[in-house]
Structure 1
């Protein structure tokens, strides 16, 4: 299988980088929460090990996200085999133009049809990550991205599943497509990347905002400004592991057990007690994904 963008990034990093020590486990959370977006298939551990390490620090539910056909199949199968793992399936925004370039619109439609079949399975709670990415895809591939995004939106609404959005350097176009198609009742902006203005738009429309470890980065003040205005009842937390490891362990591989570092940083930005924020996030994630 040709590698998806995220897979290729990870493989390249592992090939060129020296092994690094895993980040130490944080103090456990008093209130259990979920990692709303992780890629266990890209992590150097077994699923059982990842689930156990996360549970030991109070991260008791994992949303495993597929980014292409093979990884979406794996995600659904893995969720069916593990009680505390649920799945999301989709063609990543950068996967859609790759498929269309290789096999035309027919190939893209066939891939989308298989995603639809996977999404109907009970262990699959979300359609995603889908959306638009203007960072890695140029004008030549954006029509395929928009077509795929619209098809994923329609699928989420038809199956009454959550929609998980990847939005990279494409805020205005993502909002426009959602307005034209009508957003699903449960819409999640994964790895929220906007500013306070976009957070305000999401809040007005009742869309969930999931923050990852990059909210802890020194240069991420716009993200912290967005978090500051986001309503607690619409907040989720995620790793997007193995990417975006929170400070002070940036550069080491991310994993679900590191969620408490990000959650505690979020609590500081919000001026909320850690346990209170965890209660919000636990309830929000269950509501967003319907488990």
Structure 2
């Protein structure tokens, strides 16, 4: 058992350059209202995590994420229906997602994809929903944020069949170095969460070393996948600083250089606006 398992990890040393948490779930972290959101992004900002993208996995979360992105200028949203929740994905559900994704502070369609680890939704239903989300991303001109669990080849098959949107990011990348190279060659961006810091994740750590820095993002996927050495404790966006530092050491890079590079990639991929001094301290 991890010591103090129920406690958040301590705040890390502030990063020498700002970074963006490219995928988190503020609602699942416990945020309910604007005050909760502000407290979480304040903690993140105190260590150099200047902005976050809060991501939905069902309709309720999608509505919440889109609203939360209007409560604090440091928060953006992505909306979709998670593959494990697609067993009854109706036309009405699609209409809600399409309405939300067109809001200006919703910057991606996600997370969508395939998940063959859980059996909550049949593969055929997942694939049908994935194809619909791909088409939506192309129609609205926003990046596709992919959830891929135990489904690498089928993800690539569907993307090839449909034709990928211009911008694609594999959230919480989980493949090996060979799969990473294939994704990179296809022009996709790979986002690494706390799992890449786990010392037994040898194939994932090898993958993180072959991704060009301009196709690399860092994320928390909070409240899940808290980075080493705090695995099992509650995760929050500020913990992306731990993952960033570990990635820099793994890749033999300066921490500030890596932070600046992945920040630039996030801004380019999600077309985020320029920060202002007001943004740095929130609403």
- The answer, yes or no, to whether TM exceeds 0.5 is yes
Give the TM-score, by structure 1 length: 0.89
Partner residue, 2:277: none
Which secondary structure state, in structure 2, belongs to the residue aligned with residue 42 of structure 1? coil
Give the TM-score, by structure 2 length: 0.91
Partner residue, 1:38: 24
Aligned residues: 265
* Residue 77, structure 1, aligned to residue 67, structure 2: yes
Can you list the C-alpha shifts for 1:169-209, whole angstroms capped at 9, x where unaligned? Answer: 00000000000111111100000000101110111111110
Distance in structure 1 (CA, Å) of the matches to 2:6 and 2:85: 29
Distance in structure 2 (CA, Å) of the matches to 1:278 and 1:144: 38
Unaligned 5+ segments in structure 2 are 273-283
Report the CA distance between 1:268 and its aligned residue.
1.2
Partner residue, 1:155: 136
Partner residue, 1:191: 172
Q: 1:227 aligns with which of 198, 201, 208?
A: 208
- Between the two structures, name the one with larger relative contact order (CA 8 Å, sep ≥ 6): 2
Alpha-carbon contact 2:5-2:233 (below 8 Å) kept: no
Distance in structure 2 (CA, Å) of the matches to 1:219 and 1:84: 34
Report the CA distance between 1:19 and its aligned residue.
6.7
Can you list the C-alpha shifts for 1:77-110, whole angstroms capped at 9, x where unaligned? Answer: 010121010000000000111x25xxxxxxx222
More helix by share: 1
Partner residue, 1:57: 47
Q: CA RMSD in A?
A: 1.2
Distance in structure 1 (CA, Å) of the matches to 2:9 and 2:82: 28
Report the CA distance between 1:69 and its aligned residue.
0.3
Which secondary structure state, in structure 1, belongs to the residue aligned with residue 22 of structure 2? strand
Partner residue, 1:8: none
Partner residue, 1:249: 230
Q: Detail structure 1 runs of 4+ shifted over 4 Å in the superposition.
A: none
Partner residue, 2:280: none
* Residue 95, structure 1, aligned to residue 76, structure 2: no
Unaligned 5+ segments in structure 1 are 1-17, 101-107
* Residue 110, structure 1, aligned to residue 92, structure 2: yes
C-alpha spacing 1:19/1:263, structure 2 compared with 1 (3 Å)? closer
* Residue 279, structure 1, aligned to residue 269, structure 2: no
Distance in structure 1 (CA, Å) of the matches to 2:160 and 2:145: 16
- Of stretches 57-66 and 42-51 in structure 1, the one that deviates more from structure 2 is 42-51
Partner residue, 1:258: 239
